[in-house]
Chain A
């Protein structure tokens, strides 16, 4: 029969104080979903909209964006003064702030913010020759924004080269070129990688 006319009654109960919903006979999927529900409920309670419903995605409350931008600028300032660990701290704070944005706010905005913060943190890690962290951050940045993010693509490629993972770097940069088109720096990096691979094969 049509699923609209029936549903499975679940054994639910509510905690009088915290208003948290829990199951009397828990199963894993149900537990996970109820955890999601309760956290969403808490987020909804902090809203100040008239009916306690999330506002439409646009326009966005500018407060958080301003905070994120401020943290990023502080990080950039520290970076320019070559105080890289401090810069990393600022970027990390900014990331935390950006990722804690309420879920119903536009994901495009979060992507933009997170992409630039990860890319900058990757850069700071690279300045400290922490290639592993740099590679991971650059990959995260690319995940958040694939196109128009040539710097992050380049940074991961560079980090992989520094760690001696040449084949991986070559594949990565080729993918980058597919995404970004013939970006000068990426082309140069690919040429560099291919030269290194050739040299290594010669040696072997």
Chain B
């Protein structure tokens, strides 16, 4: 049995081949241009977070150090080397800011995805968010690496420390805010008490001028002075309860 190789009609084949080329080429160009535009668009999106001041400080300090090394020894007196302890403190500050950002991202994530599903927010917000998330991940990894370079195994605990610092700072701020009200509250209460006493005295005077009837009414304001004893007793009783813990 012999096959006779069929004659290939190159001329009529050229047309479909050209068609395929044109199709593939146009699809390819479309996809590259589309992707490029998309990338440019997302690059132009506003970043989720503002500039990372702590990170800038940390890197500036490192840079200051290197520049001094390059510029030779004679300048050493003019700009002293940055001590390692300062670098460590700067890195810790940077980690604290990262903790703040991590908390923000985590709280925003649920709300953001819910809003996206409902269609309340646009796609680019979600893109910005995801980019921020990814950048933060890289940032955390970077901090851990830097920490390990500065002190052995610091990377494992730097974020624990940073977490406590962040929480302590917010707690102290809140407590300070509350305690700042003390003076204002005191002043308000002094004024108020003076007003109540004036009222009370006037009522007494009126009561004396008319008859003794309004004395019963005047016991209401006097409860301000009369009650504390009862409170102290009750409070002292509570106190004993409190001592146990």
Contact, CB under 8 Å: B83 / A19: yes
Task: State how many residues of chain B have any CB contact under 8 Å with chain A.
Answer: 68
Contact, CB under 8 Å: B169 / A143: no
Q: With contacts defined as CB atoms under 8 Å apart, how many contacts are there between chain A and chain B in the complex?
A: 180
Distance from A34 Cβ to chain B, minimum over Cβ atoms (Å): 7
| Contact (A129, B228) CB under 8 Å given A53-B151, A104-B161, A114-B175 | yes
Per the bound structure, the CA–CA distance linking A151 and B239 in Å amounts to 9
Interface set, chain A 73-128, CB cutoff 8 A to B:
76, 79-80, 99, 101, 103-107, 110-111, 114, 116, 119-120, 123, 126-127
Beyond the given A9-B56, A14-B80, A21-B57, could you list 16 further A-B residue pairs with CB under 8 A, ordered by the A residue number? A9-B60, A13-B79, A14-B86, A36-B93, A37-B89, A38-B89, A41-B86, A44-B92, A52-B151, A54-B92, A56-B157, A99-B172, A103-B169, A123-B235, A162-B228, A185-B238
Q: Which of A3, A14, A103 is the one whose CB lies under 8 Å from B52?
A: A3
Contact, CB under 8 Å: B182 / A10: no
Interface centre among B90, B160, B175 (most CB of A within 10 A): B175
Q: Is B116 an interface residue (CB 8 A)?
A: no
Contact, CB under 8 Å: A127 / B232: yes
| Chain A hits for B43, CB < 8 A | 1
Per the bound structure, the CA–CA distance linking A8 and B227 in Å amounts to 63
Contact, CB under 8 Å: B142 / A14: no
Q: Is A26 an interface residue (CB 8 A)?
A: no
Contact, CB under 8 Å: A53 / B186: no
Q: Is B103 an interface residue (CB 8 A)?
A: no
Per-position contact with B for A126-164: 1 when CB-CB < 8 Å, else 0? 110111110110011001100000010011001000111
| Chain A hits for B161, CB < 8 A | 53-54, 56-57, 104
Contact, CB under 8 Å: A131 / B189: yes
Contact, CB under 8 Å: B56 / A53: no
Interface majority SS (helix, strand, loop, mixed), chain B? helix
Per the bound structure, the CA–CA distance linking A104 and B43 in Å amounts to 37
Q: Is B64 an interface residue (CB 8 A)?
A: yes
Where the two chains meet, the residues of A that have a C-beta atom closer than 8 Å to any C-beta of B are: 1-4, 7-10, 12-14, 16, 19, 21, 29-30, 33-34, 36-38, 40-41, 44-45, 51-57, 76, 79-80, 99, 101, 103-107, 110-111, 114, 116, 119-120, 123, 126-127, 129-133, 135-136, 139-140, 143-144, 151, 154-155, 158, 162-164, 185
Where the two chains meet, the residues of B that have a C-beta atom closer than 8 Å to any C-beta of A are: 43, 47, 51-57, 59-61, 63-64, 79-80, 82-86, 88-90, 92-93, 135, 138-139, 142, 150-152, 154, 157-158, 160-162, 164-165, 167-169, 171-172, 174-175, 178-179, 181-182, 185-186, 188-189, 192, 196, 224, 227-228, 231-232, 235, 238-239, 242-243
Contact, CB under 8 Å: A164 / B196: yes
Interface centre among B93, B150, B152, B161 (most CB of A within 10 A): B161
| Chain A hits for B90, CB < 8 A | 21, 37
| Chain A hits for B157, CB < 8 A | 53-56
| Chain B hits for A158, CB < 8 A | 231
Interface majority SS (helix, strand, loop, mixed), chain A? helix
